[in-house]
Amino acid sequence: MKKSFFSLFILILFLVYRCSGPDPTEGEKILSDPYSLSINKDSTKVLWDEQKGLQININRRDLIRFKKEGSVYYSDLGAKGDGISDDVIFIRATHVLANEYGFDVKADHDALYTVGGKKGSAIISTDTDFGNATFIIDDTNVEDYNSSIFEVRSKIPAVKIDEIPSLKKGQKKINISMDQAGLITVNDTTVRQYIRYGLNQNNGKEQTDIFLVDKNGFVDENTPVLWDFNHISEMTFLMIDKEKLKIKGGKFITIANQEEEENHPYYSRNIVIHRSNVEVDHLKHFVKGEGKHGAPYQGFISIKEASGVQIKNCLLTGHKTYQKIGNAGKIVSRGSYDLSVTKSINVLFENCRQTNDVNDETYWGIFGSNYSKNLTFENCNLSRFDAHMGVYNATIRNSTLGYMGVKLIGFGQFLIENSTLRGENLVSLRQDYGSSWNGDFKIKNCVFIPSKTKSSTLSLFSGKNSGLHDFGYPCYMPNKIEIDQLLVEDSHLKDYESLFIFSDFNPEMKNEKFKELFPYIKTNLVQMKGVKITSEKKLELSNNPYMFREVKIEIDQ
């Protein structure tokens, strides 16, 4: 009976969605345009009304043709694609029609679409082929910097779950029954975590987790519940669409914003993916017109609250680094991304590259993530892999990472295999979040090419944790670090003296007199096999041997 009620509830919400557009999660703006869609004998036409939004009229004969072909082109609804006319309302209207009738959307061959700054987004809910068309996204004069250009959304809206009061870490099942599997998001506003330390310090974020469940409520063992939720403020179920939505092709050129305010919020003039089971293939993104100042970007491809998203064969662009005064009153760099993942699971980046040099330090690291699980780089050449507020399980395989290397915190297994990494360290555990990894590291068949360092020492693994700051959770170093075949190419570094496994994570911890208020759990075991160093320097434990005195080292040459 309960399952039947829930199915009816889903159906009612779906019908509401069809009439009013997508229902955003709390805290998000409604970015899609309001619209009216009419079918009659009049000619096909799209108009924009400041009060009513898109006014779409479709000729009946045209509709019959679209149904026969199963697709609709942007030009069918009035887009010029001449590089002069602003085509944004026609692009949005095309997707409205396609979503209503299940048509594929196709860009016109060799078209040059201009996308102006009008507030609102085109909602993609059907397969879309951008082909060899070019989209010029002009960010120099926009009505709303939060408005994504495209939003990929499921036709089935999210459902709030109110009947579950609490969760336990590692819980295997929750008491719900659905028609199919889904993604659960949950938060507790009474608990603060990720209480950031340092120049960008803050008072933390509300406790958050995501995980997958099957239709009977069993939690996927690869996406476990990571925290105890003694109180649930909000829980949401997002259905996972069974059919894959495919987006392919397209050349997108962002004309960068010229914001002068140093603390201006992030721009979201992008493609945001809010739907599970999506593939993006052979998309290209370029950035032009960056000057001496500008607001940062969230990520041109931005994945949020989704599972099973694959980004393949794509070409992205790193953004210029700007600065601001941080929360500690000192100058800090502002991160600006072309790829971002937030509260998402099972996300693959395969065969992705960037247009600028991955070792050019004038551009910020291209990738950032938060609250995600099972992220993979496969055969990628990008400037950075970064996990801010925790990742559960991450893999870098057959890839090259540039000057910003790997910076992360999180849980589970972190695997780097058959890859070349640059940066100051092989892996940097983010000190602003406690340098915490509650799990294991495995490094296999890799090359580490350290960047030039001002220090007289070089370390494979770096981080900081004073033991005096409350991050909102216990902090761990990786329990086990396994290194199997690692080449450290350090001969180009002329002025450094020592090579260590661990940097000095806490310079104050020199003897038993130092007491941690918030104990930092140290690594238990380091296993090394086939470690080669081109400078022939000896790989030592740390320049703070007291802190790592209980670490067990096993070396098999």
Other C-beta atoms closer than 10 Å to the C-beta of 485 total: 16
Residues 214 and 179: their CA atoms lie apart, in Å, by 9
- Give pLDDT, residue 51: 86
SS3 content of the chain, % helix, strand, coil (to 5): 10, 45, 45
Give residue 72's identity as a one-letter amino acid code. Answer: V
- Confidence band, pLDDT 50/70/90 cuts, at residue 16: very low
Quote the DSSP letter at residue 121.
B
Q: Which residues pair with 514 in a beta bridge?
A: none
Residues 491 and 422: their CA atoms lie apart, in Å, by 14
Per-residue pLDDT at 190 exceeds 50: yes
- Confidence band, pLDDT 50/70/90 cuts, at residue 30: very low
Structure tokens at 17: 């969605």
Q: Average pLDDT for residues 333-347, to the nearest whole number?
A: 95
- Give pLDDT, residue 32: 61
User: Exposure pattern of 426-436 as b/e (b: 16+ CB <10 Å)?
Assistant: bbbbbbbbbbb
Residues 388 and 367: their CA atoms lie apart, in Å, by 11
Nearest to 116 by CA among 221, 5, 218, 254: 254
Percentage with pLDDT > 70 across the chain: 94
Percentage with pLDDT > 90 across the chain: 86
Question: pTM for the whole thing?
Answer: 0.92
Over the stretch 119-143, which tens digit does the pLDDT of each residue have?
999 999 999 999 999 999 999 999 9
User: Hey, is 399 helix, strand or coil?
Assistant: coil
Residues 139 and 148: their CA atoms lie apart, in Å, by 11
Over the stretch 375-389, which tens digit does the pLDDT of each residue have?
999 999 999 999 999
User: Where do the structural domains in the chain lie, given as residue ranges?
Assistant: 2-18+157-239, 424-557
Q: Kind and range of the H or E element at 133? A: strand 128-138
What is the overall mean pLDDT for the chain?
92
- Give pLDDT, residue 9: 42
Q: Average pLDDT for residues 181-207, to the nearest whole number?
A: 95
Contacts of 478 (CB under 8 A, 6+ apart): 414, 437, 439, 440, 441, 461, 523
Q: Is 217 left (phi over 0), alpha (psi -120 to 50) or beta?
A: left
- Confidence band, pLDDT 50/70/90 cuts, at residue 29: very low
Per-residue pLDDT at 14 exceeds 60: no
Quote the DSSP letter at residue 491.
T
Per-residue pLDDT at 27 exceeds 70: no
Q: Is 228 left (phi over 0), alpha (psi -120 to 50) or beta?
A: beta
Q: Average pLDDT for residues 281-299, to the nearest whole number?
A: 95
- Confidence band, pLDDT 50/70/90 cuts, at residue 556: confident
Other C-beta atoms closer than 10 Å to the C-beta of 330 total: 10
Contacts of 498 (CB under 8 A, 6+ apart): 456, 457, 458, 537, 540, 543
Over the stretch 461-478, which tens digit does the pLDDT of each residue have?
999 999 999 999 999 999
Q: Average pLDDT for residues 210-235, to the nearest whole number?
A: 97
C-beta separation of 394 from 347 below 8 A: no
Residue with the two structure tokens 């090259």: 400
User: Hey, is 29 helix, strand or coil?
Assistant: coil
How far CA 456 is from CA of 93, 159, 283, 404, 512, in Å, comes to 60, 55, 43, 20, 27
Per-residue pLDDT at 2 exceeds 50: no
Per residue, the 3-state secondary structure of 444-471, as one string, reads EEEEEEECCCCCCEEEEEECCCCCCCCC
Other C-beta atoms closer than 10 Å to the C-beta of 203 total: 9
Other C-beta atoms closer than 10 Å to the C-beta of 338 total: 31
Structure tokens at 43: 């000619």
Q: Which residues pair with 206 in a beta bridge?
A: 192
Question: Cα dihedral angle (187, 467, 476, 223), rounded to 10 degrees?
Answer: 0
Handedness of CA 500, 503, 507, 511 (dihedral sign): negative
Q: Give the up-direction half-sphere exposure of residue 471: CA atoms within 13 A in the CB hemisphere.
A: 25
- Confidence band, pLDDT 50/70/90 cuts, at residue 17: very low
Per-residue pLDDT at 226 exceeds 90: yes
Residues 43 and 527: their CA atoms lie apart, in Å, by 72
- Confidence band, pLDDT 50/70/90 cuts, at residue 453: low
Per-residue pLDDT at 325 exceeds 80: no
- Of 12-16, 273-277, 293-297, 327-331, least confident by mean pLDDT is 12-16
Residues 212 and 225: their CA atoms lie apart, in Å, by 9
Q: Which residues pair with 48 in a beta bridge?
A: 54
Radius of gyration of the chain (CA): 25
Per-residue pLDDT at 206 exceeds 50: yes
Over the stretch 50-79, which tens digit does the pLDDT of each residue have?
888 999 999 999 999 999 999 999 999 999
- Give pLDDT, residue 199: 82
User: Exposure pattern of 5-17 as b/e (b: 16+ CB <10 Å)?
Assistant: ebeeebeeeeeeb
Q: Is 519 left (phi over 0), alpha (psi -120 to 50) or beta?
A: beta
Per-residue pLDDT at 400 exceeds 90: yes
Q: Average pLDDT for residues 517-541, to the nearest whole number?
A: 96
Q: Average pLDDT for residues 288-311, to the nearest whole number?
A: 96
Over the stretch 84-109, which tens digit does the pLDDT of each residue have?
999 999 999 999 999 999 999 999 99
Nearest to 416 by CA among 424, 403, 425, 426: 426
Torsions phi, psi of 5, nearest 5?
-60, -45
How far CA 234 is from CA of 55, 203, 368, 448, in Å, comes to 36, 20, 25, 43
Question: What is the DSSP annotation of 43-72?
Answer: PPEEEEETTTEEEEEEEHHHHHHHHHHTEE
Per-residue pLDDT at 480 exceeds 50: yes
Q: Average pLDDT for residues 521-530, to the nearest whole number?
A: 98
- Give pLDDT, residue 10: 42
Q: Average pLDDT for residues 216-237, to the nearest whole number?
A: 97
Residues 292 and 139: their CA atoms lie apart, in Å, by 15
Residues 41 and 209: their CA atoms lie apart, in Å, by 51
